[in-house]
Copies of this chain bind each other. A is one copy, B any other.
Amino acid sequence: MKPDASLVKNFLLALQRAIVAQLEALDGGSAFRIDEWRRPTGGGGKTALIEGGALFERGGVAFSHVMGERMPPSATAHRPELAGAKWEAMGVSLVMHPENPYCPTAHMNVRFFIAYPETGEPVWWFGGGMDLTPYYGFEEDARHFHRVCRTALAPFGGVEYPRYKAWCDEYFFLKHRNEARGVGGIFFDDLNEGGFERCFALMRSVGEAFTTAYAPLLERRRTRPWGERERDFQCYRRGRYVEFNLVWDRGTLFGLQSGGRTESILMSLPPLVKWRYDWQPESGSAEARLYEVFLKPRDWVNEA
């Protein structure tokens, strides 16, 4: 089967609609607003945004489809044969920030890239993944999230889950804090092994697994009472999310530095964030437990 960008695009738009409908039903309070935009140089997107919901304080599910006449040098460093080729990129990217500090933040992204060199066949690859960032950790939640990730990848061979799990732990890591962003999940890039059909199916499987991985955790935790202390810790920890996305996330930085659509890129940032100097959780506290038990890479699916 030949790579077919329009098939991928139709899937991504349908995935966005499905996820927005599911998250909206889950929220129960607010609707997503849909913001369509076009780039003067071609391409555009559709950003679905929720703010001040009953469950979600802020979150977005963004589809984008952009193209260019010449691959940027940064993208062809290890693919010199594509230097100067026309290219096309599309994806769905989402980040959800619930208000209740017991509900974790989640991120999911699936993307497809295709380059058209002057001579020869188009070169394409898929990328994606999802990861979970709790403020107060629950081992059963981390296990559930990882099990759904493993199940989504199981039809494609036994090695994908452990590889993509390790890749996620490595990618979502704040080197300047020596701290994981959360409990991880899966991450993959440059995927074209086994042909278009297999890779596209793998990407679909990841995208479609997201709400199965995330929604049950929200259902379990959303009614748990919280107070000033938990809210304060959540706002403080959200600072790490900002630091990761603005300092280390290649997609965010490339987007901001290359003239991407700022508001759609930065929909990942939390609504309310606190920084304070050299703060440490009290030894033995629930907050300390997050660092000790959850912010260290762990083999969640094979435990207990």
Contact = CB atoms under 8 A, between A and B. Distances in A.
Contacts of A25: none
A83 interface: no
A179 to B, nearest CB: 10
A253 interface: yes
B242 A277 contact: no
Nearest to A37: B278
A277 to B, nearest CB: 5
Interface in A230-276: 235, 239, 242-243, 246-247, 253, 256-257, 259-260, 262-263, 265-267, 269-276
Contact of A247 (B246, B263, B273): B246
Contacts of A51: 276-277
Number of copies: 2
A176 interface: yes
A278 B273 CA distance: 18
Given A176-B256, A269-B239, A277 B247 contact: no
A224 interface: no
Nearest to A244: B246
Contacts of A262: 176-177
A299 interface: no
A60 interface: yes
A266 B176 CA distance: 11
Contacts of A269: 239, 275
A35 interface: yes
Q: Which of A58, A259, A270, A273 has the most CB of B within 10 A?
A: A273
A256 B263 contact: no
Contact of A275 (B35, B175, B253, B271): B271
Contacts of A273: 242, 272-275
A153 interface: no
Given A51-B276, A263-B278, A271-B274, 19 more contacts: A35-B278, A51-B277, A58-B277, A175-B257, A176-B256, A176-B259, A176-B260, A176-B265, A177-B262, A242-B246, A243-B246, A263-B277, A266-B275, A267-B277, A269-B275, A271-B275, A271-B276, A272-B272, A273-B273
Interface of A: 35, 47, 49, 51, 58, 60, 175-177, 235, 239, 242-243, 246-247, 253, 256-257, 259-260, 262-263, 265-267, 269-278
11 contacts: A35-B277, A35-B278, A175-B256, A176-B257, A235-B272, A239-B269, A242-B242, A263-B278, A267-B277, A272-B272, A273-B274
